[in-house]
Amino acid sequence: MPPISSEQKCCLTAWLWCWLMLLSACRGHSHWHYGTKGVQEWPQLDLNAENQCGGDFQSPIDIDTRATIYNGFLGPLQYVNYTERLRHANIVNNGHTVMVSPDRGSRAAVTARGLPGVYKFLQFHFHWGASSAEGTEHLVNGRPFAMEMHLVHINTRYGTAEEAYKHPDGLVVVGVFFEAGRRGNRALNSLVKALRHMHEEHTLKVRLSKPLALEDLLPRDAQQAYIYRGSLTTPPCSEAVIWAVLRNPAKISEAQLEAFRELEVEGGDEDHQAHHLVDNFRPPMPLHGRKVFRNFDYRERENDDYAVKTQMPV
């Protein structure tokens, strides 16, 4: 048997991630769901994987910008091969989110001087609300945005997501806020078009109407981020994530948001009735003494007297 190439390994890992997410959904939403009561029950869930939803390093958080610490050693985020065009994609509505992964592998990655490795792109997914008044998992000074995208990357040191879950430096997730307005985001057009063909839960293999580059999904100054140690924001809430929440939001129109809000869940909450997939966000978790760093300098801020220059602690 010929050896498996790195691109084939990446494609297989992405496919496996999609399959596991879909399988989780097919087992029933009784495992977990959103809403105040649902989220409070997450730490008591009986999961095959280790449940860390009650841990001290949970995500998301409310980012108090005045309490953040400038870390000059971190350096700007570096996006490798983010200009690579994604033509074929797996799009999954698993009842909890919409997830997009490359169907034929990807060479995209993210790194930074202060991050403990190079992190290979795996998939991206979204969180949004029933209205644009809320929808994001992370908050900034108590303020939510209309939608948040998570670009998930795994440490090349570990190879698979399953192994990466076991290590505090296993994943880097880049969080991108979307601010609602009249003008649409052209980078989302091909994805929005595909969503209109998959209202209910299933996996859709599509050839995007227009090839999508990950770079096009990013806002301006995408190298600037708030960085902290945290977790996955869904069960099992593995505390294996270094978060890089971008400082600046991207744009999205209300019409584009409606394509997400029209997606349906087959029914898994208490009423067991089909309903729209909205408000799929976890509320902010306590910091428990964690520090939130930023890799950009406010300059005029006196708080920068407390600047540090060290690698991201894990």
Is the link from the previous residue into 236 a cis peptide, with omega within 30 of 0? yes
The residue-averaged pLDDT of 83-87 equals 93
288 is annotated as an active-site residue = no
Q: Which residue has the higher pLDDT, 93 or 2?
A: 93
* Partners of 139 in beta bridges: 62
Measured in whole angstroms, how far is the alpha carbon of residue 134 from the centre of its chain?
16
pLDDT value at residue 289: 97
Distance separating alpha carbons of residues 187 and 209, to the nearest angstrom: 11
SS3 144: coil
Distance separating alpha carbons of residues 183 and 45, to the nearest angstrom: 41
pLDDT value at residue 268: 53
Mean pLDDT of the chain: 86
Answer whether residue 21 shows pLDDT above 80.
no
Distance separating alpha carbons of residues 264 and 276, to the nearest angstrom: 4
| Active-site hit among 33, 96, 138, 153 | 96
pLDDT value at residue 302: 42
Q: Per residue in 155-211, pLDDT tens?
A: 999 988 899 999 999 999 999 999 999 999 999 999 999 998 886 777 778 888 888
pLDDT value at residue 18: 44
The residue-averaged pLDDT of 133-147 equals 98
Answer whether residue 22 shows pLDDT above 50.
no
Which residue from 295, 261, 287, 277 is spatially nearest to 58, judged by alpha carbons? 287
Share of the chain above pLDDT 90, in %: 68
163 residue type, one letter: E
